[in-house]
Structure 1
């Protein structure tokens, strides 16, 4: 048994996922193709793609041509939500109607959009719990623990059977809603403009994160949404832990997390680079659910507005915790 896996989106997550599975798929006479912008893939066509100093490029084909999807057995979407419309057009143009689509995009909305727009095509959900960052044009670094979760399908089961530490679930929505709670930190980090370790060392930033989670949990409870814990800590416990004094939080939590001292969220990287963010897919989803159920979500609503203001600015804001607390009404 062999499959051709095509990954649309040769960013950090797409390249990490492709490199993770490529050697084992090649050993089974399968193939992995990564589709990305020419400027992104050009360095990896000349030098080996490495993840934490482990070379992987020999088992991966890189191309900028979306026509590579035409003979795919599975298409994996690993791009940002604002690129979803273009991706759907490419899928409709080049992919075979029976080819399943696996979404690794953040949030709940992308899968919903894919199901609505792609009609009879099989859409599978996926979730990557950790952060992946570029340390050079051909080098990736994984930051954070956790295992990739994939919706059950014969190909995702096959990938796990190759020896990969994937979690396979019949319904991934509860895991996605759990991951969404963690992602609510993204705009806070983007607006602060500092590494996560430094940001979490400040009780002011943590207080905003706790309030954003509290709003989301209230919305989930009212909407009857089932969610699962993603990561080592309970979000409900985090509401208390995030409010601890700085010295106690560092001692009990931060110093035990082995958090990369330079790690930042992808939203922070996008905002710093002047790129569109995924704020509508993340905190915007909590705002949307709140509106559907007549619940106010002032913290998440403010974070959405602040990020949109920052996107329209010529430079990232780098807001101190005291200023951000004021801007969200705390």
Structure 2
């Protein structure tokens, strides 16, 4: 008996969505890519995407039969996965809302807490917390460096449809949750150091975490976010393969400081050459998502009256780098 899947579209092709595309492609799950312009349509039609998973296997993904030009699309979809940067989210949501079925939902896989931007669409949004790292290497290959889960939770606080357990595994493990906010804030705290702090210094994770002063700054950054999580009474939910913020930041539940430094050293050695997405944005003269990561901590700190000087410094420094690039 043939599997019956919901209709799925993807708007915005990047490292995260390519990893999802790889899982859909391997599982022979139908999907469409909504191309925003004809140049992108033609380049994806002519050139297959090359992808390498964490186990080292390389695959060529021919997308020719999965492409449609968005402005010409007639089909409606049960799910539309949005793969753009946070600063472009509103534009992508507006462009794709006519492609949703009446009960259809967007899946937002951005960093930070993107659901906060769309309270009016609360019942039509699923948040996706990404637990893996995929980068484009010099020859155009998409390389996924670690096994990681996609954590899906309804913005309204419910668990999503269990069909997702059949759509993406085993190539991409899925966790369905009714506690999305706990995962969101955990990932935000991690991103504030591996993305935000690394970008403020324009360093790889090895350069960052093998430096004592930078490790101290990382722990200060995490501690500020931990204070906000505790003040909001959010129960932290740890992304598989990650480390609890409650143990990494100062205060109640913290591990001895030398162990926390050791954890960061191990992380630096394991991902020595990795330049995370925000560092790559600065490398390539692109606008970063700093306002939606460390900036989110700064914004909430002001609301709650909690000082977050290290996160403020990171936001300021990253914006300074951006301005210098023009």
Which category describes the TM-score, using the shorter chain as reference length?
Answer: 0.7 to 0.9
Partner residue, 2:156? none
Q: Contact 1:200–1:206 (CA<8 Å) still a contact in 2? A: yes
Q: Contact 1:6–1:69 (CA<8 Å) still a contact in 2? A: no
Q: Contact 1:6–1:35 (CA<8 Å) still a contact in 2? A: no
Aligned residues: 306
More off after superposition, 59-68 vs 121-130: 59-68
Partner residue, 2:118? 114
Distance 1:205 1:35, change over 3 A: farther
Task: Select the residue among 86, 100, 116 that pairs with 2:91.
Answer: 86
Can you list the C-alpha shifts for 1:84-127, whole angstroms capped at 9, x where unaligned? 1211220234434432111111111x1122333x36x5111111
Task: Select the residue among 96, 100, 112 that pairs with 1:95.
Answer: 100
Partner residue, 1:321? none
Q: Contact 1:22–1:60 (CA<8 Å) still a contact in 2? A: no
RMSD (Å) for aligned C-alpha atoms: 3.0
Partner residue, 1:159? 167
| Distance of 2:12 and 2:23 partners within structure 1 | 15
Partner residue, 1:325? none
Distance 1:137 1:85, change over 3 A: farther
Q: Contact 2:209–2:267 (CA<8 Å) still a contact in 1? A: no
Partner residue, 2:186? 178
Gaps in structure 2 of 5+ consecutive residues:
53-57, 154-158
Pair 1:234 & 2:244 matched: yes
Partner residue, 2:285? 274
| Distance of 2:238 and 2:321 partners within structure 1 | 31
Gaps in structure 1 of 5+ consecutive residues:
316-330
Partner residue, 1:45? 45
Pair 1:188 & 2:197 matched: yes
| Distance of 1:67 and 1:124 partners within structure 2 | 26
Secondary structure at the aligned position of 1:175 is classed as helix
Partner residue, 1:290? 301
Distance 1:102 1:5, change over 3 A: same
Q: Contact 2:208–2:268 (CA<8 Å) still a contact in 1? A: no
Secondary structure at the aligned position of 1:51 is classed as strand
Q: Contact 2:196–2:278 (CA<8 Å) still a contact in 1? A: yes
Deviation of residue 32 (structure 1)?
Answer: 3.7
Secondary structure at the aligned position of 2:112 is classed as coil
Q: TM-score, normalised by structure 1?
A: 0.81
Distance 1:103 1:242, change over 3 A: farther
Q: Contact 2:27–2:168 (CA<8 Å) still a contact in 1? A: no
Partner residue, 1:216? 225
Q: Contact 2:9–2:80 (CA<8 Å) still a contact in 1? A: yes
| Distance of 2:267 and 2:234 partners within structure 1 | 31
Q: Contact 1:132–1:143 (CA<8 Å) still a contact in 2? A: yes
Can you list the C-alpha shifts for 1:276-328, whole angstroms capped at 9, x where unaligned? 1111111111112111111111111111122122221127xxxxxxxxxxxxx
Task: Select the residue among 125, 146, 149 that pairs with 2:148.
Answer: 146
Can you list the C-alpha shifts for 1:146-194, whole angstroms capped at 9, x where unaligned? 3111123324344257775211112311111111111011122112222
Task: Select the residue among 290, 307, 310 that pairs with 1:299.
Answer: 310
More off after superposition, 69-78 vs 197-206: 69-78
Q: TM-score, normalised by structure 2?
A: 0.82
Distance 1:255 1:210, change over 3 A: closer
Q: Contact 2:77–2:99 (CA<8 Å) still a contact in 1? A: no
Deviation of residue 82 (structure 1)?
Answer: 0.7
| Distance of 1:130 and 1:187 partners within structure 2 | 17
